[in-house]
């Protein structure tokens, strides 16, 4: 098992990693990632989450095929170089998705009511724990939600019941050659923080 890194190092160097090797990821690392996921907070501590781990090649192929056909943004000359780089990565991931060794699909059980941000508050902390744990273990991942464009079909492929909503599709693997972790680029805290009232910097 890789040597673990500190929490702040993981947060400051975590990136959306879309270029991944097809090399197998040991079960013990996936188990450690999932154990980190269930340590996250959930509303009322209800823990209505579930995590679907997908390794089956035919299942991954079906998902990847549908993932590629889902509407997505393509690069265009009016995009900034940064935007073009991001969308090249998105296209690469779509073209190579079934080669990724493991998918994790975090889900949340519900009562049939419409999806809300409140429901997301009980699953996305677990998603972030998965991303941080993957980074801490030397693995890459990215939070993608393109599957939400065909969620009914996605759920049918995976046998997910109607009272369960998927939150993300997280491909997990070792970083491709030449791909590295952070530092991640973010707008400065001073530009996105207000004090006591909106607009007070």
Q: Which helix (H) or strand (E) holds 119?
A: helix 117-120
Q: Is pLDDT of 173 > 70? A: yes
Q: What pLDDT score does 138 carry? A: 94
Q: Which helix (H) or strand (E) holds 166?
A: strand 164-166
* Residue 95 preceded by cis peptide, ω within 30: no
Q: Is pLDDT of 73 > 70? A: no
Q: Categorise residue 200: left if φ over 0, alpha if ψ from -120 to 50, beta otherwise.
A: beta
Q: What is the CA radius of gyration of the chain?
A: 18
Cα–Cα distance, 92 to 114 (Å, whole number): 33
Cα–Cα distance, 174 to 139 (Å, whole number): 5
Q: Is pLDDT of 75 > 70? A: no
Cα–Cα distance, 9 to 118 (Å, whole number): 29
Tokens of 128: 């972030």
Considering the entire predicted model, what is its pTM? 0.90
Q: What pLDDT score does 194 carry? A: 94
Superfamily in which the 7-173 domain is placed by CATH: NADH Oxidase (3.40.109.10)
Model confidence at 44, pLDDT cuts 50, 70, 90, reads confident
Percent of the chain scoring above 70 in pLDDT: 96
Secondary structure letter of residue 195 according to DSSP = S
| Alpha-helical runs (H) found in 39-80 | 57-69
88-111, pLDDT tens digit by residue?
878 888 899 999 999 999 999 988
Q: What pLDDT score does 117 carry? A: 74
100-159, pLDDT tens digit by residue?
999 999 999 988 777 777 778 889 999 999 999 999 999 999 999 888 888 899 999 999
Find residue 54's DSSP bridge partners: 103
- Domain boundaries defined on the chain: 7-173
Compute CA 194 distance to the chain's CA centroid, rounded to the nearest angstrom.
Answer: 29
């Amino acid at each position: 098992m890789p040597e673990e890194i500190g929490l702040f190092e993981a947060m400051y160097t975590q990136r959306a990693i879309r270029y991944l090797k097809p090399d197998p990821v040991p079960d013990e690392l996936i188990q450690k990632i999932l154990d980190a996921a269930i340590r996250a907070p959930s509303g009322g501590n209800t823990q209505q989450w579930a995590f679907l781990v997908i390794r089956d090649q035919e299942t991954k192929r079906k998902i990847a095929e549908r993932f590629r056909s889902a509407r997505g943004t393509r690069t265009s000359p009016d995009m900034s170089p940064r935007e073009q780089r991001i969308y090249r990565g998105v296209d690469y991931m779509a073209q190579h998705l079934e080669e990724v060794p493991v998918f994790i699909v975090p889900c949340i059980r519900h009562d049939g009511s419409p999806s809300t941000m409140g429901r997301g508050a009980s699953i996305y902390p677990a998603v972030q724990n998965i991303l941080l744990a993957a980074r801490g273990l030397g693995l890459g991942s990215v939070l993608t939600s393109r599957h939400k464009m065909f969620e009914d079909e996605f759920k049918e492929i995976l046998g997910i019941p109607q009272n369960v909503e998927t939150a993300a599709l997280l491909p997990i693997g070792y970083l491709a050659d030449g791909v590295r972790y952070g530092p991640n680029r973010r707008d400065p805290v001073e530009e996105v923080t207000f004090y006591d009232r909106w607009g007070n910097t």
